[in-house]
């Protein structure tokens, strides 16, 4: 990575459940996890689906003294948190892991995440976590990280609710919107506002437009909502994300091709993709 740039790496781009089917090897089978590595070395992660395991191995190998990770959860459905117990930094006593996520009635963010560490479903308990882990529940607002990074959050429609995020690093911006259902022909206004003028928009594209009507109330979008939002908000680059585990590589290539006719700067994100974003 250039010292004058930030990087965005996709560690998992599937939704609902991980898959290792042979016809899905290009786009990958891990569930939601995106890393933003600011040029100052800050570790910022969106979601801890199964993709966070490989990311955690790399981060743990990079450090032998105190460091900080900021993990922003869109929500606490399984596919967005299930990788956390396999995140290697939790076993480093010098790691500080700050977890941010939506406020819920009935159960705290801490209880929901640490509930993953529960025998007989998992052999470890929260007491086995060696890192210092903190939890902050957020709604609409912002979180400041260091001197140059601010993360804005805003709720959007999804079963049990979800948060969208806008990360601003100096003059650059990355928007992460997953697990969202726009009403037909009517984009969620707050999401349009959150995405306004973004350098990069990462957006849920779980279903095709043909499959979407059969899954009303499931809380997802198609490439049509993605491209409409990208056009309306004036974003520079769109990455389709959170693909159905039923869709093959060929299916997603076809989705990407159709989407580019509506918004030329569209790419279907694949596992392992790293995008460089100039810091200037």
pLDDT at 3: 62
Average pLDDT score over the chain: 95
Rounded Cα gap, residues 56 and 86, in angstroms? 8
Q: Residue range 39-57: average pLDDT?
A: 93
* CA-closest candidate to residue 223, choices 200, 236, 204, 246: 204
Domain span at 49: 5-278
pLDDT at 100: 98
Q: 200-233, pLDDT tens digit by residue? A: 999 999 999 999 999 999 999 999 999 999 999 9
pLDDT range class, residue 103, cuts 50, 70, 90: confident
Rounded Cα gap, residues 207 and 188, in angstroms? 18
How far the first Cα of the chain sits from its last, in Å, is 14
The CATH number of residue 70's host domain is 3.60.15.10
pLDDT at 138: 95
Q: Residue range 25-35: average pLDDT?
A: 98
For residue 2, pLDDT beyond 70: no
- The total number of structural domains in the chain stands at 1
């Amino acid at each position: 990575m250039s010292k004058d740039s930030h990087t965005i790496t996709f560690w998992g781009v599937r939704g609902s459940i991980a898959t290792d089917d042979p016809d899905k090897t290009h786009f990958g089978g891990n569930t939601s996890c995106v890393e933003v590595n600011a040029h100052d070395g800050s570790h910022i992660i969106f979601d801890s689906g199964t993709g966070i395991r490989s990311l955690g191995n790399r981060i743990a190998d990079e450090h032998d003294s105190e460091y900080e990770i900021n993990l922003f959860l869109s929500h606490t459905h399984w596919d967005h948190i299930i990788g956390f117990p396999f995140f290697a930094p939790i076993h480093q006593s010098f790691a500080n892991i700050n977890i941010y996520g939506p406020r819920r009635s009935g159960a705290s963010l801490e209880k929901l995440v640490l509930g993953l560490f529960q025998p007989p479903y998992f052999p470890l308990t929260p007491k086995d976590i060696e890192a210092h882990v903190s939890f902050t529940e957020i709604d609409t607002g912002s979180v400041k990280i260091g001197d140059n990074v601010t993360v804005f959050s805003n709720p959007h429609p999804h079963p049990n609710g979800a948060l969208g995020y806008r990360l601003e690093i100096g003059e650059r911006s990355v928007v992460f919107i997953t697990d969202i259902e726009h009403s037909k022909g009517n984009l969620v206004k707050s999401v349009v506002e959150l995405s306004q003028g973004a350098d990069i928009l990462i957006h849920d594209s779980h279903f095709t437009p043909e499959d979407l009507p059969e899954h009303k109330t499931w809380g997802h979008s198609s490439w049509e909502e993605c491209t409409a939002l990208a056009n309306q908000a004036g974003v520079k680059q769109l990455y389709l994300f959170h693909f159905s585990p039923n869709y093959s590589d060929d299916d997603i290539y076809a989705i990407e091709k159709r989407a580019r006719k509506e918004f030329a700067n569209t790419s279907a994100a694949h596992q392992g993709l790293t995008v460089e974003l100039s810091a200037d």
